[in-house]
Amino acid sequence: MARVRNPLEPLSSAVKGIVTLLTALMVAGVLGLFVDGSHLRAFGIGDQSACVTDTSTTVGGGDAPEFKPAPGATVELDAHPRYCTDNLTTAQSLLHTATQVPAFVFSAGALLLVILLIRGAEREGLYTARTAGRLRRLGWWLAAGSVLAAIAESTAEQSLVHSLSRNADGSTVTGLLSWQIPYMAILTGLGVLSFARVMRVGITMREDLDGTV
């Protein structure tokens, strides 16, 4: 009898490879603390310098504002003004960290949901209500979570820009209006949600058919 290939491949192997790689990197980083006494810095924690680009403002044009950096900060003008400082305050350090956390939380959450989906499907089977439910949660995380992560990151970035600049029109609320729409994540999430709904319909039809036999 021919061996049935795992229907979850190559996704299952790819996820396991990513988890293995991330675990190895984490272990290597922790071991580095004891080998050379270096400091493990994640999400900018412990950094004294930082740069942030004000993507809500474009350099050039007759109505372009005057870019004024705050004391202790500098500004570089390209397509968008880029503010830098080598002396972060506590509040600015927290904002700098907050600009990096949302993307990590979103990616880690998506990876965790995929792992739970794969393990559940391997244990219980593909065409079960619980597998469809896990798929549905993954879809909502991709669609809604990506939007929330983009808004949170944009808000933190604009708050950091506001603290490093002295422009009169700068505002923390700008981040709520200038975030970049994660089209691919939203479309992928909607596709996963649709597939989860198709799975639920198929499961219900199979249960009805089994009940009539």
pLDDT tens column, 78-129: 888 889 999 888 888 899 989 989 998 998 899 889 888 888 888 887 788 8
Q: What is the end-to-end Cα distance of the chain in Å, rounded?
A: 28
H or E element in which residue 84 lies = strand 81-85
Whether 44 is covered by a domain: the verdict is: no
Whether 97 is covered by a domain: the verdict is: yes
Whether 65 is covered by a domain: the verdict is: no
- Cα torsion angle, 6, 12, 17, 23, sign: negative
Whether 144 is covered by a domain: the verdict is: yes
Is the distance from CB of 56 to CB of 162 less than 8 angstroms? no
What's the domain range around 154?
90-212
Is the distance from CB of 160 to CB of 99 less than 8 angstroms? yes
Confidence bin at 141 (pLDDT 50/70/90): very high
Structural tokens at position 18: 């990513």
Burial class (CB in 10 A: 0-12, 13-18, 19+), 207: exposed
Is the distance from CB of 111 to CB of 18 less than 8 angstroms? yes
Whether 73 is covered by a domain: the verdict is: no
0.75 exceeded by the pTM? yes
Whether 33 is covered by a domain: the verdict is: no
- Of the listed ranges 3-17, 42-56, 150-164, 189-203, the least confidently predicted one is 3-17
Whether 52 is covered by a domain: the verdict is: no
- Helix ranges (DSSP H) in 165-182: 174-177
Confidence bin at 209 (pLDDT 50/70/90): low
Whether 43 is covered by a domain: the verdict is: no
- Residue range 56-80: mean pLDDT, rounded: 76
Beta carbons within 8 Å of 104's beta carbon, 6+ residues apart: 43
Q: For the chain, how many structural domains are there in total?
A: 1
Specify the pLDDT at position 84.
92
pLDDT tens column, 25-35: 766 655 554 44
